[in-house]
Amino acid sequence: SRLRQVAILGATGSIGTSALDVIARHPQQMRASVLAAGSNVDALLALCQQHRPDHAAIADPALFSRLRDGLNDAGLATQAHAGHAAIDALAASDHADTVIAAIVGAAGLSSTLAAARAGKRLLLANKESLVLAGELLTREAATAGAEIIPIDSEHNAIFQCLRSRDARLEAGVRRIILTASGGPFRGRSRAELEAVTVAQAVAHPKWSMGPKISVDSATLMNKGLEVIEAHHLFNVPGSRIDVLVHPQSLVHSLVEFIDGSTLAQLGLPDMRTTLAVGLGWPQRIESGVGGLDLLSQGRLDFEAPDMDAFPCLRLAWQAMEAGGSAPAILNAANEVAVSAFLQGRIGFLSIPALVEHTLSTLPYVAADTLDALLAADAQARHITETAIVRLPNV
């Protein structure tokens, strides 16, 4: 049968390279046909040499000739593209039947939406697109018959625990329980978080991930974004979603049913497992990840999240309950604050402070169109940037 053609958007990142690792293990079933990245031309060229896609795209249009010349110099037949519109077009094109959405942040929304509208199998890692435009994205995917397979480990676990792939159709689901590692600062008080450094914040105890999601894990905003993500993916209200801190990161999430059964998915913390679930579904395929040795792990611990030390989780919950443009505002403020933190411009505790400031400054509007959501996103970025410039302690 025909090879599955896979487009990897965000190919140079943590998820992108894990996906390429899994794909390369199955040359008889699948190949990487499209690779896209943001601005790292050298890394993209190296991946093209290794995986020989038909198309390669770089988001920064100024880098087009460097990509094209690099492909030519390497003697590759890979066609060069540049700009966001080119990435969107490739995501929707016949060059791929499966699209891995692994661009970080709201920058991934337009290509994720393009793939959904084109009816692709969508392996969705880019959670920010669901936070920003969850209703729109899931509606467009349903209309076009695009199958969304969550790659985020918690949602992938829930997906594996459901028979219907859609909590909407599964009447017997009582609640969804998302697990959280607690990040590098689990157990610390608010005062102890004051002086933490960037290096400490990105050193996640269990997962190796890109810098943005690593900081989100440290603030617990990641879990907040995931609550909103679960709400949209599985169409469950916030009142039926719980968060449980589980420091070993082996139980990736759980689903409780009305008969008292609880199903969970367990595995080592390695994203190649969830990517293999998405790439092979409904078949199981090799991922390169070994099984779990529960005997040597010894124990599984669970505790409640500390919403006082980590207010981002509470803020995300509030934004979800408020609805409309509030989640878009939350996400944009967080992206700006995290990037300022990574640049050393603000301290760790300024991240929740800035998100809270922007959420309380901007009015929430009904947001059922892409334009309204993108306008809220842009306004929130502006307000957060302005507040950073005015911060007294930076």
Which stretches of the chain bind ligand NDP, using CB under 6 A? 10-16, 37-40, 43, 59, 102-104, 107, 125-128, 152, 207, 209-210, 212-213, 271
Residue 352, binding choice from Mg ion, ligand NDP, none, Cβ under 5 to 8 Å by partner class:
none
If 0-12 CB within 10 Å is exposed, 13-18 middle and 19+ buried, where does residue 68 land?
Answer: middle
The residues, ordered by sequence, that sit 6+ positions from 59 with a Cβ below 8 Å of its Cβ are: 36, 37, 38, 39, 82, 83, 84, 87, 107
> Cα–Cα distance between 384 and 165 in angstroms, integer?
37
By beta-carbon proximity to ligand NDP, the closer residue of 181 and 357 is 181
By beta-carbon proximity to ligand NDP, the closer residue of 33 and 387 is 33
- The nearest distance, CB 278 to Mg ion, in angstroms, is 14
- The nearest distance, CB 181 to Mg ion, in angstroms, is 9
By beta-carbon proximity to ligand NDP, the closer residue of 328 and 387 is 328
Residue 337, binding choice from ligand NDP, Mg ion, none, Cβ under 5 to 8 Å by partner class:
none
Using an 8 Å Cβ cutoff, are 76 and 102 in contact?
Answer: no
Q: Does 270 bind Mg ion (CB under 5 A)?
A: no
By beta-carbon proximity to Mg ion, the closer residue of 178 and 359 is 178
By beta-carbon proximity to ligand NDP, the closer residue of 95 and 174 is 95
Using an 8 Å Cβ cutoff, are 116 and 348 in contact?
Answer: no
Q: Does 152 bind Mg ion (CB under 5 A)?
A: yes
- The nearest distance, CB 360 to ligand NDP, in angstroms, is 25
DSSP 8-state code for residue 78: P
C-alpha Rg value of the chain to the nearest Å = 20
By beta-carbon proximity to ligand NDP, the closer residue of 204 and 357 is 204
Reported as half-sphere exposure (CB side, CA atoms, 13 A), residue 90 has a value of 31
Binding mask 96-135 for Mg ion (x = CB under 5 A): ----------------------------------------
- The nearest distance, CB 174 to ligand NDP, in angstroms, is 26
Residue type, 289: V
- The nearest distance, CB 128 to Mg ion, in angstroms, is 12
> Cα–Cα distance between 158 and 384 in angstroms, integer?
34
For the beta carbon of residue 123, count every other beta carbon within 10 angstroms: 29
Encoding tokens for residue 339? 């990037």
> Cα–Cα distance between 370 and 132 in angstroms, integer?
9
- The nearest distance, CB 153 to Mg ion, in angstroms, is 5
Counted residue by residue, the chain has a size of 394
DSSP 8-state code for residue 238: G
Q: Which residues bind Mg ion (CB under 5 A)?
A: 152-154
